[in-house]
Chains A and B, each alone.
Chain A
Amino acid sequence: MPDSLKATLNATLNFLPLMLLWGISNQHAFWAALAAASGLILLNIVKKSFNIKPIVLFLYLGLSVILYHYLKIDFVLSQKQLISSLVLGSMGLISILLNKPYTMYFAQSSYDKAFAKSPLFIEVNILITKIWTAVHFINAVMEAFNHSTYTVVITNLLVAIGIASSIMIPSMLSD
């Protein structure tokens, strides 16, 4: 399979928990997303690779399940869009500050080992992570101020831009 196709599949697969979380409108959203995140973690264990994003999502979703189902805090469900965006944005920001952009973990498996460790690869992923971080924070701000059909459209558009850049940037630089 070509590297770029692998990267596309990886980027989409890693987005599955969020798709479920944002796509399902009732309380099952947390369980479905949690299951997807667990699946991704398992997959990584099998592949013997490390990926921070499903772990962070797992922790966030696990906590949300406890807060919603056991402590009956509705806020976590009604504001899931805002909270998840803040969690992911913060994860991006921290990972950039630590010079370990989180997107590099799931991208690594798609590329040659030596290249995946090179500064070139890290720099490209810093850029992609920056884009994702911006996407998540913008979404969070929009959610905080106003939740309407418009924000849903814009949110989805921004996420689409994020996915497109995760796929296009590495393929543009592949040679």
Chain B
Amino acid sequence: MKIIVLSGSPKAEKSVTLQSVKYIEHHYPEHYFEYVHIARNIKKYEANEEELKLLGQKIQDSDGVIWAFPVYYTTVPSTYKRFIELVSEKCHSCFKNKYTAVFSTSIHYADNIAHDFMRATCEDLNMKYTDYLSHDMHDLLQSKMQQNLKDFFANFITSIKEGLKVSKMFAPLKNNDFTYQGEAVAEKITTEKQVIIITDALDSDYNLLEMINTYSSCFGQPPEVINLNDLDIKGPCLGCCRCAANNICAYHDQDGYREFLDYVIVKADIIIYAGAIRGRHLSALFKLYYDRSFCYTHIPFLTGKHLGYMISGNLSDNQTLRQSLEMFNRGNINLIGFVSDESQDSSEIDRQIYSLARKGVVFAEKNYFKPDDFIGLSSEKLFADAIRGSLGGIFTADYRYYRKNGLLTKVSWGEKLQGALMRYLMGRKAFRKAVQKNMINHMISGHKKVLSSLKGEE
């Protein structure tokens, strides 16, 4: 069979992900693999539609397509995202009815979201999605995972041969033709807090621009708007990890990105991201903004900020996007909320935008930070483990930051001792019985003390 591998890593032949696909190729010599390095070719595809069509033809002539990419900021690298935008626009039918499987490497941070994103994309392209495999970047070194790779590919071939099918998981994307007419807000918010709007709006993004105007009109002193299109960004993240030791990117002072990011970090209390949905995510340019922020490696560089989102498009149809954006709220990075134009009711949208502005200011002024939920906590633990381990040997800047900020602490000795003590006592029948009998009361005994102390205060 002829398999096209759409390789997403900017590192092309030196990609970690690609080594796993090469491993598969080696074990299945009866199949022919052709590799397309998307990052290397993206400029060509952007400039020349014919090149894209040629690729489309190759895909049409193949038996199956493997999307192979590194997870970058909860989805795919910006160039891969751009490629998806291009084919969705210009070569949609090339992918139709092609069997496909999705493979990624990562450190498993939000890899589920990346795979949801890819599955939804495959469904949008009318492909015959079969399965996915998400490997840790070092999995190829383990014999169990090598077998896992072989099985994954064997299943893919079986699906093609036997015409196996899976259900669609995502509702199709709906167009939103509504035109939002915002009205300047009369009740102005005054605050010392600094608000910065980061957007990728083009002139054609009428609704988005209008949403930004309405948001700005909420303030006596209109917030600063930074358009990513106006920045001097030389290129996408190269995945070279030169930033690992000192957070100095290969591009560092060669373009305007770092200066812009550091300006936002220093200046903003509230950051509002304003973008339009393109496919299953924000634009590739927005993705570029996120990917390049990897110069701060795994450091939560927006700590202490409140983030809000104004999205043009049907956000409620696109939970993967919401989840992806919510991943950035961990530690002391607070989510204010989302506003979209999908209600198709201008006055409703006006009110939602005002509420976003008001809430953001209240949060910032009161220093109100929501504690981590599952997403935040699991992210912290995943990063802390990785940084305490081998990752922290290379990402030394992360290690220093995590240690200094107490993010590497595991369960304290006191808690461990407490757990051991309770396990010992719970092994004793009389104790266990007494605890079980009073379990519900025990669970709120501390809470009750807090409440009764309030009564004492009255």
User: How far is B425's CA from A99's CA once the two chains are assembled, in angstroms?
Assistant: 15
Question: Given A173-B422, A175-B445, does the pair A123, B417 have CB atoms closer than 8 Å?
Answer: no
B163 interface residue, CB < 8 Å from A? no
In-complex Cβ contact of A172 among B421, B428, B431, B446 (8 A): B421
Per-residue CB contact flags for chain B residues 409-452 toward chain A (1 = under 8 Å, else 0) read 00000100110011011001011011100000000011000000
Question: Given A172-B414, A175-B445, A175-B446, does the pair A120, B421 have CB atoms closer than 8 Å?
Answer: no
Tell me the residues in window 370-428 of chain B with beta carbons closer than 8 Å to chain A beta carbons.
414, 417-418, 421-422, 424-425, 428
Per-residue CB contact flags for chain B residues 10-22 toward chain A (1 = under 8 Å, else 0) read 0000000000000
A142 interface residue, CB < 8 Å from B? no
Q: Distance in Å from the Cβ of B423 to the closest Cβ of chain A?
A: 12
Q: Which residue of B lies closest to A121 (CB)?
A: B434
Residues of B near A29 (CB, < 8 A) are none
B425 touches A123 (CB 8 A): yes
Q: Distance in Å from the Cβ of A137 to the closest Cβ of chain B?
A: 20
B430 touches A173 (CB 8 A): no
Q: Is the interface of A mostly helix, strand, loop or mixed?
A: helix
A123 touches B414 (CB 8 A): no
B414 touches A119 (CB 8 A): no
User: How far is B421's CA from A118's CA once the two chains are assembled, in angstroms?
Assistant: 18
Per-residue CB contact flags for chain A residues 107-145 toward chain B (1 = under 8 Å, else 0) read 000000000001110111011000000000000000000
B434 touches A118 (CB 8 A): yes
A169 interface residue, CB < 8 Å from B? yes
User: How far is B312's CA from A175's CA once the two chains are assembled, in angstroms?
Assistant: 49
In-complex Cβ contact of A120 among B414, B418, B434 (8 A): B434
User: How far is B425's CA from A15's CA once the two chains are assembled, in angstroms?
Assistant: 26
B421 touches A173 (CB 8 A): yes
A122 touches B425 (CB 8 A): no
Residues of B near A168 (CB, < 8 A) are 417
Residues of A near B422 (CB, < 8 A) are 173
Residues of B near A120 (CB, < 8 A) are 431, 434-435
A122 touches B430 (CB 8 A): yes
Residues of A near B428 (CB, < 8 A) are 123, 126
Q: Which residue of A lies closest to B435 (CB)?
A: A120
User: How far is B433's CA from A118's CA once the two chains are assembled, in angstroms?
Assistant: 11
Q: Distance in Å from the Cβ of B8 to the closest Cβ of chain A?
A: 50
Residues of A near B424 (CB, < 8 A) are 127
User: How far is B424's CA from A40's CA once the two chains are assembled, in angstroms?
Assistant: 32
Q: Distance in Å from the Cβ of B190 to the closest Cβ of chain A?
A: 45
A119 touches B433 (CB 8 A): yes
Most buried by A among B425, B431, B434, B435: B431
Per-residue CB contact flags for chain A residues 137-168 toward chain B (1 = under 8 Å, else 0) read 00000000000000000000000000000001
Most buried by B among A122, A123, A124, A126: A123
Q: Distance in Å from the Cβ of A3 to the closest Cβ of chain B?
A: 11
Which residues of A come within 8 Å of B, CB atoms? Answer: 118-120, 122-124, 126-127, 168-169, 172-173, 175
Nearest 8 pairs of A and B residues by beta carbon: A123-B431, A119-B434, A119-B430, A175-B446, A172-B418, A120-B434, A123-B428, A123-B430
27 A–B contact pairs at CB < 8 A? A118-B434, A119-B430, A119-B433, A120-B434, A120-B435, A122-B430, A123-B425, A123-B428, A123-B430, A123-B431, A123-B434, A124-B425, A124-B431, A126-B428, A127-B424, A127-B425, A168-B417, A169-B421, A172-B414, A172-B417, A172-B418, A172-B421, A173-B421, A173-B422, A173-B425, A175-B445, A175-B446
